[in-house]
Structures are given as C-alpha cells and as structure tokens.
Homo-oligomer: A and B are copies of this chain.
Amino acid sequence: MTENIQPTQGELEILQILWKKGPCTVREVNELLNATQDKSIGYTTTLKIMQIMFEKNLLSRNDSQRTHVYSAEVRESNIQSALLGRFLDAAYKGSASKLAMHLLGNHKTTPDELAEIKALIDKLEKNKPA
C-alpha cells in the first residue's frame, strides 16, 4: 500500500508537522508552517491541502468537534522509505552505494552517526556472510 503513495512537497511539509507534533487542527498546522518557513501561507490554503490529503487517506480527522483535528494516517518511516526508493531510481539509477558516498561525503555527519552507520554495516555483513 504505502509504496504507491507519493505525497507532494506541500503535503510532505504538513506530514512532517503532524509526525512531530501529533494530531493538530488546521490552524495549528498553518501557524507552524508559517513559523517554520520564510513565505507565508493563507489559512484556507493549508485547509484545502489537508482536505485533499484527507481524501487521499494521507490524513484522518476527528470531526466530532466543530474544529476538526487531523492526524497522519501514514508512518514517517514508511513514507521516507518509499520516497527514498523513488529518489534512488530517479537520481541514482538505483545505485545505493553512490548515493551513500555522496551522503557521507557532502553532508557533515557527526562521529556518533558515523559509528552508528558502521555498526549497521557490521550487522548486515554478519547476517549475510560471503
């Protein structure tokens, strides 16, 4: 199911907020969007996008109150993995190692993170012995 989901840029920004904050009203999301970003987005714009996301089942909502409360219906790591798979194909033609090289090479990764990644590689190597 999750693999075919393709949230747009705007939708992803809203999902990020809901993943971090938990269930929110449209106004809360809109205010956080405007607080985080440089540009300012109208309330009805945020509302519209969230309504569309609701129709796509990216969000659920509690409308027992006048003010609806929206929740993410998709898991952060699922969406990330799906997007990553697509990105890997589109930009790297599937070469995960090339992507990893750029990732580690260009972006300052903390020593802790490097150690963590190395530990994961060790684990993978043990699980799949040559």
Which residues on A are within 8 Å of B, measured CB to CB? Answer: 9, 12-13, 16, 77, 79-81, 83-85, 87-88, 90-93, 96-107, 109-111, 113-114, 116-118, 120-121, 124-125, 128, 130
Contacts and interface: CB of A to CB of B under 8 A. Distances in A.
Contact of A113 (B90, B91, B97, B120): B97
10 contacts: A80-B91, A81-B102, A85-B107, A88-B107, A100-B117, A101-B120, A103-B103, A104-B117, A114-B124, A118-B121
Nearest to A93: B16
B103 A128 contact: no
A118 B118 contact: yes
Given A124-B109, A125-B111, A96 B103 contact: yes
Contacts of A124: 104, 109, 114
B128 A111 contact: yes
A93 B104 CA distance: 16
Contacts of A79: 91
